[in-house]
């Protein structure tokens, strides 16, 4: 597939100005004085200056909504959202990636809509409304496929994604029996390749999904997040969306979860999200084995036990996911964030596995992982006994 800007036009040269774009007033976001996404804080995370767009994506209602939100941004036409070398390339300094993540968006049309069975985090992986992320977790697997800057690509054909999901939900009927994903509902992960709470700073894709799921009584949306976006509290999910706040010890998070909300903020937000109609779970992930990791997790779990109200505890469940690392990612990280690699890259306790696409992935050795999972389960049982572990991997 051809994944570069039209060869006759340099990437810096807009093909059509914003003034020429048809603007439908209906496509403009409703003005809301209280919207977090219009706040200074949100702008520190995302201050969009450039929007690389497939023409059909820019012309769509969702595309026009995004363009209207960032009227000062320069529009640059691209043939395909998938590979834009000057955005997605692995070269260059991390400063460039952070700048790109903050200032750049991509608009594309998602061509292939498939829902895949999963069985761990969710029953199904839905076609996501985005690919890429404005946050910058050092261990993130998403950029491995796309290059390391990997800013948010918004898929503008959200209507087709919703129609696809509606058909899929209808075809499943009722869930025949409970499983660890959920006792009653078919759970659809809607955020496999990004962070839906961050996407909600850009457009209404996340809101549209949350609203669609509240009308599907046999299904539930689910997404993991490391970002507290108060705008999500306005969406009235009526229990049909599960937010999974990812947590890890604060020291690990400060080293590894760049640009995210601090872990204690994610935990503190849990009650607000529950009261707003979400189900709130936690991802204990990734678990990074390092000297002192058990004490750090014990402290985190005690903190959760101290600050979370009973109503959150009563419905909370957790996933435990041990770190997976990657040889290529290690090489890249060494160039800009070697301190993170001191804890992530531990070949003495990790084993390698070649993935289907040829990548060399590292996971903890079976014996190390078995012991670590048993330790962590023990810590949960001791310090946060209310937190049922849905699965540990
Ligand atoms: S929040 Fe998720 S998608 Fe975004 S960088 Fe972190 S791990 Fe990757």
Digit-coded pLDDT (tens) for 78-119: 998 887 877 776 666 777 888 889 999 999 999 999 999 999
Q: Tell me how far the alpha carbon of residue 225 lies from the centroid of ligand 1, in angstroms.
A: 8
How far apart CA 2 and CA 81 sit, in angstroms, is: 10
Q: Tell me how far the alpha carbon of residue 190 lies from the centroid of ligand 1, in angstroms.
A: 14
- Tell me the pLDDT band of 147, cut-offs 50, 70 and 90: low
Q: Has residue 26 been placed in a domain?
A: yes
Q: Tell me how far the alpha carbon of residue 160 lies from the centroid of ligand 1, in angstroms.
A: 25
Q: Of the candidates 57, 52, 51, which has an alpha carbon nearest to the alpha carbon of residue 70? A: 51
Instruction: Look at residue 41 and give its three-state secondary structure.
Output: helix
| Ligand 1 within 6 A of CB of 131 | no
Digit-coded pLDDT (tens) for 307-340: 999 999 999 999 999 999 999 889 888 888 899 9
| Ligand 1 within 6 A of CB of 194 | yes
Cα 358 to the center of its chain, rounded Å = 24
Answer yes or no: are the C-beta atoms of 111 and 131 closer than 8 Å: no
Residue 65, classified by CB atoms within 10 Å of its CB into exposed (0-12), middle (13-18) or buried (19+), is: buried
Q: What pLDDT, on a 0 to 100 scale, did the predictor assign at position 146?
A: 62
How far apart CA 73 and CA 47 sit, in angstroms, is: 9
Q: Has residue 80 been placed in a domain?
A: yes
| Ligand 1 within 6 A of CB of 143 | no
Other Cβ atoms closer than 10 A to 214: 17
Q: Has residue 7 been placed in a domain?
A: no
Q: What pLDDT, on a 0 to 100 scale, did the predictor assign at position 32?
A: 52
238: left (phi > 0), else alpha (psi -120 to 50), else beta?
A: left
How far apart CA 88 and CA 302 sit, in angstroms, is: 40
Annotate 244-271 with b (16+ C-beta within 10 A) or e (fewer).
bbbbbbbbbbebbbbbbbebeebbebbe
- Spell out where the chain has E strands: 50-53, 74-77, 104-108, 116-117, 124-125, 130-131, 136-137, 153-155, 186-189, 219-225, 241-247, 257-258, 279-287, 317-322, 324-326, 350-354, 360-364, 388-392
Q: Has residue 6 been placed in a domain?
A: no
Answer yes or no: are the C-beta atoms of 160 and 113 closer than 8 Å: yes
pLDDT above 70 as % of the chain: 89
Number of domains in the chain: 1
Q: Of the candidates 155, 5, 10, which has an alpha carbon nearest to the alpha carbon of residue 79? A: 5
Q: Has residue 3 been placed in a domain?
A: no
Answer yes or no: are the C-beta atoms of 246 and 283 closer than 8 Å: yes
What is the residue range of 73's domain? 18-392
Three-point CA angle 374, 378, 380, nearest 5° = 120
| Ligand 1 within 6 A of CB of 285 | no
Polymer length of the chain: 393
| Ligand 1 within 6 A of CB of 321 | no
How far apart CA 23 and CA 46 sit, in angstroms, is: 23
| Ligand 1 within 6 A of CB of 301 | no
Q: What predicted TM-score, i.e. pTM, was given to this entire model? A: 0.90
Digit-coded pLDDT (tens) for 116-146: 999 999 999 999 999 999 999 999 877 666 6
Looking at per-residue confidence, does 86 or 48 come out higher?
48
Q: Has residue 4 been placed in a domain?
A: no
Q: What is the CATH number of the domain that holds 378?
A: 3.80.30.30
Q: Has residue 360 been placed in a domain?
A: yes
Q: Tell me how far the alpha carbon of residue 65 lies from the centroid of ligand 1, in angstroms.
A: 24
Orientation angle between helical segments 366-383 and 293-307, nearest 10 degrees: 30
| Ligand 1 within 6 A of CB of 134 | no
Cα 147 to the center of its chain, rounded Å = 16
Q: Has residue 141 been placed in a domain?
A: yes
Answer yes or no: are the C-beta atoms of 169 and 289 closer than 8 Å: no
| Ligand 1 within 6 A of CB of 135 | yes
């Amino acid at each position: 597939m051809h994944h570069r800007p039209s060869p006759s036009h340099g990437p810096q040269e807009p093909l059509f100005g914003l003034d020429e774009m048809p603007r439908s007033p209906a496509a403009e976001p409703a003005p809301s004085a209280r919207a977090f996404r219009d706040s200074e804080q949100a702008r520190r995370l995302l201050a969009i200056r450039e929007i690389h767009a497939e023409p059909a994506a820019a012309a769509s209602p969702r595309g026009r909504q995004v363009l209207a939100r960032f009227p000062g941004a320069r529009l640059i036409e691209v043939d395909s959202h998938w590979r834009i070398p000057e955005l997605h390339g692995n070269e260059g300094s991390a400063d460039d990636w952070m700048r790109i993540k903050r200032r750049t968006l991509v608009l594309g049309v998602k061509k292939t809509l498939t829902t895949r069975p999963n069985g761990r985090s969710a029953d199904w992986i839905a076609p996501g409304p985005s690919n890429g992320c404005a946050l910058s977790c050092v261990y993130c697997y998403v950029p491995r496929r796309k290059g390391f800057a990997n800013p948010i690509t918004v898929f503008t054909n959200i209507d087709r994604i919703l129609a696809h999901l509606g058909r899929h939900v209808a075809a499943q009927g009722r869930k025949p029996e409970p499983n660890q994903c959920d006792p009653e509902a078919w759970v659809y992960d809607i955020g496999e390749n990004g962070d839906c709470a961050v996407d909600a700073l850009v457009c209404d894709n996340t809101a549209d999904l949350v609203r669609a799921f509240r009308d599907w009584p046999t299904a539930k949306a689910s997404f993991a997040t490391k970002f507290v976006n108060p705008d999500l509290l306005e969406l009235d999910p009526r229990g049909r969306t599960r937010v999974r706040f990812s947590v890890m010890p604060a020291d690990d998070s400060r080293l590894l979860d760049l640009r995210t909300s601090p872990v204690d903020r994610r935990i503190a937000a849990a009650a607000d999200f529950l009261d707003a109609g979400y189900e709130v779970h936690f991802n204990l992930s990734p678990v990074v084995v390092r000297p002192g990791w058990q004490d750090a997790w014990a402290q985190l779990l005690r903190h959760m036990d101290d600050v979370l109200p009973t109503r959150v505890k009563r419905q909370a469940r957790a996933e435990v996911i041990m770190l997976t690392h990657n040889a290529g990612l290690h090489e890249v990280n060494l160039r800009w964030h070697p301190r993170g690699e001191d804890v992530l890259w531990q070949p003495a306790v990790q084993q390698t596995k070649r993935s289907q696409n040829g990548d060399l992935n590292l996971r903890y050795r079976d014996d190390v992982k078995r012991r670590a999972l048993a330790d962590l389960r023990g810590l949960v049982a001791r310090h946060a006994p209310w937190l049922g572990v849905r699965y540990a991997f």
